[in-house]
Structure 1
Amino acid sequence: MYRDVTETDCMKFEKLLAKHECTSATFIRQISNGEEDFSLNRTQLGDMKKFLVVMMYRSEDRRSQYFNRRFDFLTEISLKRHMDHNKFSSIQTVWFENLKWIIEAPVDDIVKEYQKAFIFRVKSESPAARLSPYRGPIHGSELEDFGYLMTQTIACIWQAEAGSEFILFEGCFGVWDGDTGIWFHNFFIISPRFAIVLVNELYLTERMKEKPRWTSLFGDSLHAFPETNYKKGPLPKDFDLETLFYHSTPDDVFKYKRIVVPKEDVYKVNGIFLDARRKFLTYKSTVSMYKSLRYHDKVKKHMFQDCLDYSVLRPGLPTVLPLGNSDATSGTTVLPPGNSGSNRRTSIILLIGKPVAGKSTILTQLGTKTSRGRSMGSTKDVYEE
């Protein structure tokens, strides 16, 4: 929960975010309940994408990047210019003001500002948003990320094949598959069975495949354009972007279908998460978790960057139990010490071994670097219930 003491209502931004959350929650409930017909109109789709973007940006990973000043030299310069333009006193303020702006601004205003920033960068012939002369209410690099996700992606619904599941962790909203600056898929895990995946439109329309160096870890079978019902009637057969723009209305309806994802691709998604060195993980099926770890170990040398070593965990997995629950397949949400179920940001933990004498051993630092990186031994903390 974020409070802004400069506002008359210090909870103003949480209340605004709650409105977007309602749209997303309804759609997610339709997906999870197995309903055959689940759809969004254009306005609702914009609200849902905005909510996903906000939840990605407000994560601990992104916040700590600002609070710990983890930026390269050019980004630091860009942030300093943005601070001078807006008279901000600290980089931490930039993060909070970015968050407030994206929550408060209408979707149409975000799109217009994104287009403005993009034009600034193109005219300056700058290869990167951080070098752009754009100055506005939000830092240019973040604005281009937000704008891309909201305007240049197609939402797909992935369902894990029976016998497999997506693992969850403290940053499972927005993790991507692709290269630096080129995203193919952004994953938003909503349950062990389902994920909302925002897919790059250029990838779907084959244009990215003209660049051989831009390759995704996933094939073409996991994508499906939604069925679109236009309020003004069907589009003409030979339409261009201008025709599409004037034909579109806020009341156009997009109907989605679930795409069943083969087990190997589910383990691949989990491998991306595992390679990101997360503090906490949780899962429902010990078998699926074990297979995900084995898959990561098998392919990491040629598929992933950090090649973390999780082999020390695998022998203990058959005895792993969720905290406070005797059924390893119950799927109960697990929260770390001090958290309550009222928090929007899901915090999650991976337990190693059985609870003993009122205590549960919690893995708080997953994975160790192999010879390709500096050694970092895993540590275990004990949480007293």
Structure 2
Amino acid sequence: MPRRRSTNQYQHFIPRFILRRFQVGPVKSRAERDREFGRTGVDPEYVHYYDIATGSLDIRPIGKVYGVPNFYQDIRNTGNINELEEKLGDLESHAASIITALHKELPQGTFTLKRRPLERLRKFLFVMHYRNVSCSGTYFQVDHPENAGGRQWIESFMRAKGLQSSVEVWLHFLRYYLDMSHSDIMRDAAELIEKYGEEGLQKMMTKSHISPDLELFPAYTYHTQANGYFFSIWEAAEGEEFIIAHNAFGLWEGLAGGSPGLHRIFVVSPRIAIVLRGVISRPELKEHLMPGALVSSLLDVNPAPPTPIYSSGGNNMHIDHFQSARSLARYRSSQDGENDSFVFKITKLSRPQTLAFNFVVLVNMTETGSLTFLSSASMLRTSRAFRCLPMNFLASELLVPLIGRLTATTETEVSAPRQPLQSPTAVPGSDIDALKLVDIELYALLMQICMGSKRLPSAYDRAHLVLKIMEKAKPTSFADEIRREVTKVFKVCRGYLETTVSFAEGARFAPLLPSISTESSSQLFQFMIPHMSTLGAVMAGGEGILEEVQDEVAVLSFLQRASCSPGVWHTLSCSSPQAPEILSRLFKEGTSADRCVLYFTRFLYERRASPSNFSSGFHMAYSLRGLCGMAGPTTNPISQRYYQLTASMIQCLGRMMLGSLPEPYSSQPRERPKAQLAYKMSEEHSNLLFSNMKMMLRKSLPGYKPSPGGDTRAETVKKWIDEMAIVGCLAWLGKHRRNFLDCVLDAFSQGMNFKLFEDEEATGSASG
């Protein structure tokens, strides 16, 4: 059965129809709610409610939050002490219908209102702020500091009307606002302005004498908001939501010419906020402002003023067409004015803009206030983002318990499949300082990147900055996951080496550049992320920005570690023909390895006619490969050509089918991880090996033409590079395609009878 209305009522200062849009569970019709209440006696509507004073988060009935018992009761009205509540209910009903229609029109991107519904909505918004529980006791409080200028007027008015308290004065004018239409209030204000002027009205407020006209002074207050702000509709970004607080209706934000209140904010649902923006920011006025005249965290949102469609057929009627404010007010209240329409373009916010909007609500939190939201996951993201900004640090302390409770209940809801970030919260009931559980600098940077407030020229630059902060940070799960996967890949690469120690091991190497081009950045991650996956790393691989950053930081962390291990860098550089060019862009020209390569190739070329220290050309190629390929990161063309040619040879021979090998090769082990090339052999065997390998590669590797050498340094070095690459290819085949290599070597026309690998004795064939 329907619920009975009693004399004692819980009266909301945030209407139920708005709270229902934040309802946990499905929204029910009035009939459904009444039936369920009749069966159970329990209010079937609930919302999330964070009590800031106690740090508690629970689900509370809508009928028991954001209100005060008997808040609007006028005990002087003995006939019906709840008359004001009933009139407010009528105004709310009109507003609820408009806001319902607005939600239906969201997909269209525009919303059209006739003048009268728009006026009712404007009046509703004004009363929403005026009715706020925090305002009722201070609006006309005689000894309140903000009322010092009007103290005499308030005292005289209370005596003239027989009012005993500031709350009674507040109720007196609330009745005026509810009884009068928007047009009537604006007409009263126009008459006051025309008679006294705005400066005259301000001066009269300081006098103790109450003119009958000044009983209408609240009309001027209403006029100030109605004429000083244009109406705009803001929609939250996809995946984000607006939040509400106990004081989140009519919040002032920003400065205009040094005066507070560039914006008046009204959240009416998780999707929609109605924002009144100062007319001073309209395009036709804004261009005349001095730089810095507007100060706001919401200035990058650019809502368009509504487009009027006048019943006369024109669309360019302006206040200048009227001789006075009174004549304008008369037009607006006329039948012609009633038929005017206004088209609002709905302003769709980005994710950072939605967060910035919510931050306005959060920064106005009080220790005795409360918060309500729809999605726990969205509230958690918003709270974390708010907490990471230094300017919000003190206010964000009030959110620490909320973050803890949301983290405990929404781990499975948060969009990231893996949770790289730990919440900056204390375990409920413990004495652990929440800030000790995370590194604030790293957390702040990551959240700024996720919000979009921290932008860098390229993904590489972003990852480099995060890596530098991460290296100085205390341990976090974000960093631990990256280090675990990097270590895994590093060990795999070390296992690919035929020798674990380079002559350059332990040397100081060039650091990674802090910035590279966007194109180079894109090519790097397109190559490295899949490559690390093939080596066994579990990459985040998600669509979210945090997963992208995690993968990119993992790449740079691995590259930084690999760059300090010449053998691992060699393995990486020979992994693909594209790798050398991509990786060389990460360093300044003239690395220590570059200087080493240039010095030794020049030295060997100048001494080529002298008695050699090498037993053969193979011995020299083996040694040069150690100098040019295993000296650490390089940018010089000699090393780059060696890496590219080696990678091409490995790809070509590595793709050849092994299943068709004849016996005994098909039965032999394919992989011999400990295989080590024997670098010393006779010149005769060296010449035979190189000539046969070059002949085979010429046939199997498209575009390969071995350099014959010559008298010039360039021609000689080209021949050296070919033979260095053959040595590298043989070393790889010996470890990973050993049975295939044995088959190839045994097929050469001349018997070799030499030792190619350290773990074998010399026999009539390379297979041993």
| TM-score of the pair, normalised by structure 1 | 0.71
Question: In 2, Cα distance between the equivalents of 1:177 and 1:130?
Answer: 26
**Partner Cα separation in structure 1 for residue 409 and residue 140 of structure 2:** 34
Residue identity in the other structure for 2:382: S
1:256, CA displacement in angstroms?
2.4
1:188 maps to which residue?
266
1:160·1:266 contact (CA, 8 Å) conserved in 2?
yes
- RMSD across aligned positions (CA): 3.8
The answer to whether the 8 A contact 1:54-1:102 is kept is yes
Which has the bigger relative contact order, CA under 8 A and spacing at least 6? 1
- Is 1:320–1:353's contact at 8 Å kept on the other side of the alignment? no
Q: Give 5+ residue unaligned stretches, structure 2.
A: 1-10, 12-71, 415-424, 429-768
Deviations 1:284-312 (A, max 9, x none): 233332332334334462xx797453462
1:319 pairs with one of 389, 402, 408? 408
Structure 2 distance, partners of 1:197, 1:238, is: 22
Counterpart in the other structure of 1:360? none
After TM superposition, the structure 1 = structure 2 runs for residues 261-300 of structure 1, keeping only pairs within 5 Å, are: 261-278=349-366, 279-299=369-389
Partner residue in 1 for 2:275: 197
- Runs (5+) with no aligned partner, structure 1: 322-326, 330-351, 356-385
- Once the two structures are superposed, residues 22-44 of structure 1 have per-residue CA deviations (whole angstroms, 9 ceiling, x without a partner) of 32111111222345364221111
> Per-residue deviation at 1:249?
0.9
The equivalent residue for 2:343 is 255
Aligned partner of 2:123: which letter? K
C-alpha distance in 2, partners of 1:139/1:290?
A: 46
Q: 2:231 aligns with which of 138, 155, 171?
A: 155
**What corresponds to 1:61 in structure 2?**
134
Whole-Å Cα distance in 1 between the matches of residues 400 and 426 of structure 2? Answer: 13
Q: In 1, distance between residues paired with 2:385 and 2:227? A: 34
**How far, CA to CA, are the matches of 2:263 and 2:201 in structure 1?**
27
**CA 225–353 in structure 1, closer or farther in 2 if over 3 Å, else same:** same
> What amino acid is the match of 1:153?
Y
State the match for 1:48 in structure 2: 121
For the pair shown, which has the larger CA radius of gyration, 1 or 2?
2
> Which residue of the partner structure matches residue 757 of structure 2?
none
Amino acid in structure 2 at the alignment position of 1:4: D
Q: Residue 173 of structure 1 is aligned with which of 249, 252, 259?
A: 249
- Give the counterpart of 1:28 among 99, 105, 114: 99
Aligned partners of 1:300, 1:69: CA distance in 2, in Å?
A: 38
Aligned residues: 326
Quote the offset at 1:204 in angstroms. Answer: 1.6
Mapped partners of 2:81, 2:427: distance in 1: 43
Instruction: Give secondary structure in 1 for the equivalent of 2:233.
Output: strand
Counterparts of 1:13-24 in structure 2, within 5 Å, are 13-24=84-95
- Conserved? CA contact 2:400–2:426, under 8 Å: no
**1:207-226 mapped onto 2 (5 Å cutoff):** 207=285, 210-211=289-290, 212-219=292-299, 221-226=301-306
**Residues 293 and 310 of structure 1 are in contact (CA less than 8 Å); yes or no, is this contact kept in structure 2?**
no
Letter in 2 for 1:54: V
Does the residue aligned with 1:249 lie in a helix, a strand or coil? Answer: helix
Q: Deviations over 1:82-130 (max 9, x none)?
A: 3244342322211111211111122222113333454536343848x95
- The answer on whether the counterparts of 2:263 and 2:277 sit within 8 Å (CA) in structure 1 is yes
Q: How does 1:349-364 map to 2 (within 5 A)?
A: none
What amino acid does structure 2 have at the position aligned with 1:282?
A: T
Separation of aligned partners in 2, 1:160 and 1:88: 44
Structure 1 stretch 292-301 or stretch 130-139: which is displaced more?
Answer: 130-139
* CA contact 2:298–2:357 (8 Å) conserved in 1: no
Instruction: List per-residue Cα deviations over 1:119-166 (Å, max 9, x = no partner).
Output: 536343848x954787556584x5444222223322211110012111
Q: Distance in 1 between matches of 2:139 and 2:317?
A: 48
Q: Which residue of 1 aligns with 2:433?
A: none
Greater fraction strand: 1
- Does the C-alpha gap of structure 1 residues 125 and 88 become closer, same or farther in structure 2, counting only changes over 3 Å? closer
Equivalent residues of 1:297, 1:310 under 8 A apart: no
Q: Determine if contact 1:277/1:308 at 8 Å carries over to the other structure.
A: no
CA contact (8 A) 1:50 1:107 kept: yes
SS at match of 1:88: coil
Q: Secondary structure at the match of 1:290?
A: helix
CA change 1:353–1:299 in 2 (3 A) is closer
Distance 1:49 1:238 in 2: 20
Report the Cα distance in structure 2 between the residues aligned to 1:65 and 1:123, rounded to whole angstroms: 24
8 Å CA contact retained: 1:166, 1:189? yes
Q: Provide the residue aligned with 1:380 in structure 2.
A: none
Is the aligned partner of 1:93 residue 2:164? no
More helix per residue: 1 or 2? 2
